[in-house]
């Protein structure tokens, strides 16, 4: 998407005509494109951080489920422990898959 913004900028002759009509127009256009690029980079970083946070939260939840299942096994109820671990893990995996499918794909270039 970023390359398209730069490709859509006017030719030098067109930019000169804009500046003759309204001085500073091309500089404002360039500043706007640069702000948009910076915003896109920040949004990409935020998306990466949120994905990592979700991954660690899911890993933490599975760890807690595993510890709970181990506790059930240590008190003589391994079947219940497996049920808790299996159902909990399946729901977490289902939630991750649902979120991934509901996100829109990358924009076409």
pLDDT digits (tens, 9 = 90+) for 9-47: 777 778 788 788 888 888 888 888 889 889 999 999 999
Q: Cα dist. 6→18, 27, 30, 49 in Å? A: 17, 14, 9, 27
| Local confidence band at 70 (pLDDT 50, 70, 90 cut-offs) | very high
**What does the mean pLDDT of the chain come to?**
83
- Report the sign of the C-alpha dihedral through residues 55, 61, 64, 69, in that order: negative
Torsion of CA 51, 47, 105, 60, to 10 degrees: 10
Averaged pLDDT, 100-105: 64
Do residues 18 and 26 make contact, with C-beta atoms less than 8 angstroms apart? yes
**pTM greater than the 0.75 cutoff:** no
Q: What is the largest CA-CA distance in the chain?
A: 85
């Amino acid at each position: 998407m970023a390359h398209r913004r730069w490709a859509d900028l006017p030719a030098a002759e067109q930019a000169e005509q804009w500046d003759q009509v309204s001085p500073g127009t091309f500089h404002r256009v360039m500043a706007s494109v640069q702000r948009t690029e910076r915003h896109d980079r920040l949004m990409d970083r935020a998306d990466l951080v949120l994905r990592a946070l979700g991954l660690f939260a899911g890993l933490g939840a599975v760890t807690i489920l595993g510890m709970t299942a181990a506790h059930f096994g240590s008190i003589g109820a391994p079947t219940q422990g497996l049920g808790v671990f299996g159902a909990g893990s399946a729901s977490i995996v289902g939630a991750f898959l649902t979120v991934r499918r509901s996100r829109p794909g990358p924009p076409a270039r």
